[in-house]
Structure formats: structure tokens, C-alpha cells
Amino acid sequence: MVEQLQKLVALQTVDLKIQEMERTKDEIPQRIVALEEDFKKEEERVQSLRLEVEKLQKERRVKERELEEEIDRVKKAEARIFEVKTNKEYQAVLKEIENAKKLNREREEEILGILERLEEMQQNLGQGEKGLEAQRKECQRQVNELRQKADSFAEEMASEVQHREAQKKEIPPDLLNKYLMLLEKRQGIAVARVRNGVCQACNMNLRPQLYIELQKQDRLIFCPNCNRILFWENGSTKPKET
Ligand SMILES: [Zn+2]
């Protein structure tokens, strides 16, 4: 019986290892998605900077054209001043010129403001694009590394699964079925160690009589609370440290 229990404990050890590997394996695609999402976010940020720069450049062109037209208009008005016949007309043209010049100064100020903003935005965009390129490479590198890791991990897992199948063959079918049923119903733990009289899977204190029985290791003992197969931590079934 000790020998069978030892085999069950060994099988449980492999099963736990495989469960842990499955969890790690599932994490890899999530990490890849997270990396790609980070990159996408940065890409969107840089793209919105780019659009902002384009918008400002367009605004600048419109304002500059407007200013040119207005300067032209002032020149024409200035030429007209020699043709006016009456004082009233003269005053009106002067006023028109004065107003136009004032508006043009405001336009110039506006254009200067746009140029300043444009310079700053272009600097940000340049940095963003450079950073994005570096991030693209880094993201690609990490994704490749994770994919490679997933591949070698899959191989490692396959060999553990093979190992488990070989171990299963060593266990009598009735006992194996019992084990597999418990494994399924008890969150992947069918065999529980007992430490100081306590089932380590459900924390139940064993009755002293049962604990003594367990230590004899001459028959299978089940936890009265969680029904798992018990093994005495200090007994000869103690699993090898892995
Ligand atoms: Zn228990």
C-alpha cells in the first residue's frame, strides 16, 4: 500500500506541476496582448500629435494668405488716397487704411503664436516618432521572445504529460479512477498531505485515531471532510523535492 500511495503522491506532484505550467502558458498570450495594446496606445498618441501639427500648418497657411490679401488691400487703398476728391472721402480712406493696418498687426501676432505652437508641437512629434520606433522594435523583440518561450514551454509540457501518462500506467485502474475523479472534483488536488494531524488541503483536524491509522500507512485513508486521499507528510510517501 505504501508503494501505491507513493505512486499517487508522485502523480499528484506531476499533476500540480502541469497545472502550474498551464497557468503560465495561458499568461503568455495575455502578456503579448498587453504589450501590443501599450504600443497601439502610443501609436495613437503620436498620430493625434501628427494631426494636430497638420491642422496648425493648415491654419498657418490660411492666416498667411489672409494677411497677404489684406496687405495688398492696404497698398491699393494707399494708392487711392491720391485720387480722392473730397476731404470726407480722404478721411474715410485714411480710416480704412488705419483699421486694416491694425487688423494686420493682429494677424501677424496670431501667426507668430501659431508658429511658436507649431515649433513646440513638431518637437513633440519628432520625439514621439523616435520613441515610437524604439518601442515598436522593443515590443517586437519581447513578443518574439514570448512566442519562443511559449514554444519551448509547450515542448516541456508535452514531456511532463508523457511522464504523467507513464506514471498512470503504474497505478491499478480502480485507484487511478478514484484519483482522477477526485482530481476533477477537488480543484486539481486529489492527494493531500497531512501535517501535525491537519489535512493541508481543507485544514481539517484529523481525529487522533485516524491520524494514528494514517501513520501506519497500511491502507488508504480519506479525509473525512474533503474526501481526498491523505498521506502523512513525515512518512515514507514524502514526495521528493523538485
Ligand atoms: Zn481534507
Q: pLDDT digits over 99-113, tens only?
A: 999 999 999 999 999
What separation in Å is there between the alpha carbon of 3 and the centre of ligand 1?
Answer: 22
Angle at 54 between CA 50 and CA 58, to 5 degrees: 170
Structural contact between residues 42 and 209, judged by C-beta atoms closer than 8 angstroms: no
Q: What is the pLDDT of residue 135?
A: 96
Centre of ligand 1 from the C-alpha of residue 212, in Å: 16
Nearest to 5 by CA among 165, 163, 178: 178
- Please tell me the distance between residue 228's alpha carbon and the centre of ligand 1 in angstroms: 6
Q: Which pLDDT score, from 0 to 100, does residue 242 have?
A: 42
Q: In what order do the strands lie in the sheet with 229-232?
A: 198-199, 191-195, 229-232
Q: How far is the CA of 191 from the centre of ligand 1 (A)?
A: 9
Q: How much distance in Å is there from the Cα of 173 to the middle of ligand 1?
A: 23
pLDDT, tens digit, 9 for 90 and up, residues 76-132: 989 988 888 899 999 999 999 999 999 999 999 999 999 999 999 999 999 999 999
* β-pair partners for 230: 192
The distance of Cα 139 from the centroid of its chain, to the nearest Å, equals: 11
- Between the CA of 182 and the centroid of ligand 1 the distance, in Å, is 12
In whole angstroms, give the CA distance from residue 56 to residue 51.
9
224 C-alpha to center of ligand 1: Å? 7
* Regions of the chain with pLDDT less than 50: 241-242
CA distance 204 to 200: 8
Residue whose C-alpha cell reads 494636430 in the numeric block: 52
Phi, psi of 3 (to 5 degrees): -65, -40
The CA dihedral of 188, 234, 239, 203, to the nearest 10 degrees, is 10
Q: Which is nearest to 200 in space by CA: 60, 2, 12, 11?
A: 12
Burial pattern 101-122, b for ≥16 Cβ within 10 A else e, equals: eeebeebeeebeebeeebeebb
Calculate how far, in angstroms, residue 91's C-alpha sits from the geometric centre of ligand 1: 105
pLDDT for the residue numbered 183: 96
* C-alpha 208 to ligand 1 mean position (Å): 15
What's the confidence (pLDDT) of residue 25? 87
Distance of CA 201 from the midpoint of ligand 1 (Å): 5
Q: 164: CA distance to ligand 1 center in Å? A: 24
Mind listing the domains of the chain with CATH numbers? 23-169 (1.10.287.1490), 173-232 (no CATH)
195 alpha carbon – ligand 1 mean position (Å): 11
How many Å lie between the centroid of ligand 1 and the Cα of residue 199?
5
